[in-house]
């Protein structure tokens, strides 16, 4: 009697254990836990805890992009103010100059012209503290392009000419081996500013310099810049030829390791120029290649930046279709 009772008791205990353990096993092995996506507000709170002013500004800018995509212009304006306020008194010009241009571009996107003008003006002032000629020229070219751009810029041609004129003067003192880089940045600045005719001499010099380059990334970027300006002046045939040569140079760059970053930015430059020339189909194809290369960039932070830039360009191309 007691033996039968013990057997029944043991069976009951076993069944109870199975009932308890099976759901636990199902939760752990059958389904993957889904990662919770942060809200925009949570991203902004996290940005405030970033370890340095530069990191805070970078993260705030990413939050601004999210707010703009969601249609929250007022929220974007407030967060851009936070990003601007991160700049320390002794700001590193090579870091904060480009960041201020980026902030100014975003202000322009949400129709806050006064704030955009202030930010790009600060960038131009900071450029005077940059010793490296190429870095200074690139910053001035970006600022000049934003000043003059009719779409997404400030549409102020006089200021654009003044800033780009300074960049042209500086390019005269650049070593021959770096000259194409300087002229490429200036040509793109003129193109963005809608001042293609003013860039005629620059483009002629640029094309001559590009032909002598052996490094494929600067060659592709230089040819793409020249193509953008040629397209804006109505010389479509010249633009097509330059873009073809630029694409060949970009595609010749290796796809793995450190080369992946150079390949990404070269393809991005050619794709942007193709879009500016009205060839959205080719631009889209090149951007797919650029995205693939961006995912191969070995440094995580550099990869994140490269992917973000490619996706911004893809969104811009989609808007043009």
| Per-residue confidence band for 217, with pLDDT thresholds at 50, 70 and 90 | very high
Given pLDDT bands bounded at 50, 70 and 90, which one contains residue 177? Answer: confident
Q: How far apart are CA 220 and CA 270, in angstroms?
A: 7
Query: 134 vs 119, 143, 167, 263, CA distance in Å?
Result: 21, 14, 9, 20
User: Would you say 247 and 236 are in contact if contact means Cβ atoms under 8 Å apart?
Assistant: no
Q: Tens of pLDDT along 263-317?
A: 999 999 999 999 989 999 999 999 999 999 999 999 998 998 899 899 989 988 8
Report the share of the chain in percent with pLDDT over 90. Answer: 67
Distance CA 103, CA 106 (A): 5
Distances in whole angstroms, Cα of residue 241 to Cα of each of 118, 182, 197, 202, 245: 39, 22, 19, 18, 6
Average pLDDT, the chain: 88
Closest CA to 97 of 66, 132, 128: 128
The domains located in the chain, with CATH, are: 213-321 (1.25.40)
């Amino acid at each position: 009697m007691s033996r039968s009772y013990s057997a029944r008791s043991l069976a009951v205990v076993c069944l109870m254990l199975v009932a308890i353990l099976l759901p636990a096993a199902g939760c752990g092995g059958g389904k993957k836990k889904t990662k919770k996506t942060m809200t925009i507000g949570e991203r902004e709170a996290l940005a405030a805890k970033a370890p340095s002013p530069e990191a805070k500004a970078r993260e705030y800018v990413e939050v601004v992009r999210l707010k703009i995509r969601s249609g929250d212009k007022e929220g974007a304006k407030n967060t851009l103010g936070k990003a601007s306020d991160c700049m320390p008194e002794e700001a590193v010009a090579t870091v904060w100059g480009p960041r201020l241009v980026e902030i100014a571009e975003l202000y322009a996107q949400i129709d806050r012209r006064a704030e955009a003008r202030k930010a790009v003006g600060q960038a131009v002032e900071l450029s005077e503290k940059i010793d490296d000629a190429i870095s200074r020229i690139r910053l001035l070219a970006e600022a000049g392009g934003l000043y003059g751009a009719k779409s997404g810029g400030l549409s102020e041609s006089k200021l654009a000419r003044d800033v780009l004129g300074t960049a042209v003067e500086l390019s005269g003192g650049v070593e021959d081996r770096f000259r194409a880089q300087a002229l490429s940045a200036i040509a793109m600045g003129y193109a963005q500013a809608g001042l293609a005719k003013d860039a005629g001499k620059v483009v002629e010099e640029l094309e001559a310099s590009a032909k002598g380059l052996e490094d494929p990334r600067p060659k592709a970027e230089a040819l793409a810049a020249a193509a953008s300006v040629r397209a804006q002046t109505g010389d479509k045939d010249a633009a097509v030829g330059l873009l073809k040569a630029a694409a060949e140079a970009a595609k010749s760059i290796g796809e793995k390791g450190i080369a992946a970053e150079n390949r990404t930015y070269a393809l991005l430059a050619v794709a942007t120029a193709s879009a500016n020339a009205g060839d959205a189909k080719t631009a889209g194809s090149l951007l797919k290649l650029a995205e693939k290369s961006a995912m191969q960039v070995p440094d995580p932070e550099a990869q994140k930046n490269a992917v973000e830039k490619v996706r911004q360009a893809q969104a811009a191309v989609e808007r043009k279709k």
